[in-house]
Amino acid sequence: MSSERPEEFSASDTRQASEPAADQSNTAPRNGGDDASPQGATILVRGETVRGQEPNSPAKGSPPKDKEKTPLKAVSEAKVKLQSRLPALDDDTDVGVQKEHIVVRDGKADLAFTGTLLASAAPPSASKGHWQEYRIYETNGGKHVFSKMSRSVFAEEQDTQEAEVFDPSPSSVPSQLLRSARDLARSRPLTWMDAAVAFFGYDPLAKDLYRKLGSQFEEHIG
């Protein structure tokens, strides 16, 4: 009979052999403790590997963190003051006063003349930070100057300015062209009011400008 005895394994030996695997897998306490597994832990359940929820994971339906917000535009304090005074304009006190004027034009020479500001108009508000200003001048020489300015309160956006001159003299080429077209259409001479309508149109701000000049811009019918 062989003298070799089969190896015997006690319960304590079995427990010691299994402890390294349990330590490596970061399992919960064996004695039924209430301590929860740390987030991100790997737990062995009947031979299957179950990973905990990733820490700091966004809630379902929440917007992505990397979504960038639209940057706010810088505004000009000086133009914000102009906006806050609408529909009043800086040169409202110049209406009807004869003085020297300089009307700025983009891409063309500025207009310098002595004359009178007949009327101006601006909207009652500019909630989106943009608005227009209309003006009509009469020079001492009997010409009319039409000015349209588009303003913005944002510092990075430049104001735009355009202007035209109506000269009733037949020697004026633009006047001759407009006059001939008008004569063919209505058989009457072109006036500065016709030129104003051609420049400003009939938008609400233009109509407000015309009302300040009187009823001559209205179409009277019998």
Residue 164, SS3 per DSSP: strand
pLDDT digits (tens, 9 = 90+) for 137-187: 999 999 999 999 999 999 999 999 999 999 987 555 555 555 555 555 555
The confidence band for 69, taking pLDDT boundaries of 50, 70 and 90, is: low
The confidence band for 24, taking pLDDT boundaries of 50, 70 and 90, is: very low
The whole-model pTM stands at: 0.63
What does the pLDDT average to over 28-47?
50
Neighbours of 37 (CB within 10 A): 14
pLDDT of residue 168: 86
Cβ neighbours of residue 103 under 8 Å, at least 6 residues apart? 110, 111, 112, 113, 135, 137, 145, 147, 161, 163
pLDDT digits (tens, 9 = 90+) for 185-207: 555 678 999 999 999 999 999 99
What does the pLDDT average to over 67-74?
72
What does the pLDDT average to over 91-120?
97
pLDDT of residue 9: 42
The confidence band for 14, taking pLDDT boundaries of 50, 70 and 90, is: very low
Q: Where are the domains of the chain?
A: 77-167+202-217
Residue 7 scores a pLDDT above 50: no
Sign of CA dihedral 205, 209, 214, 219: negative
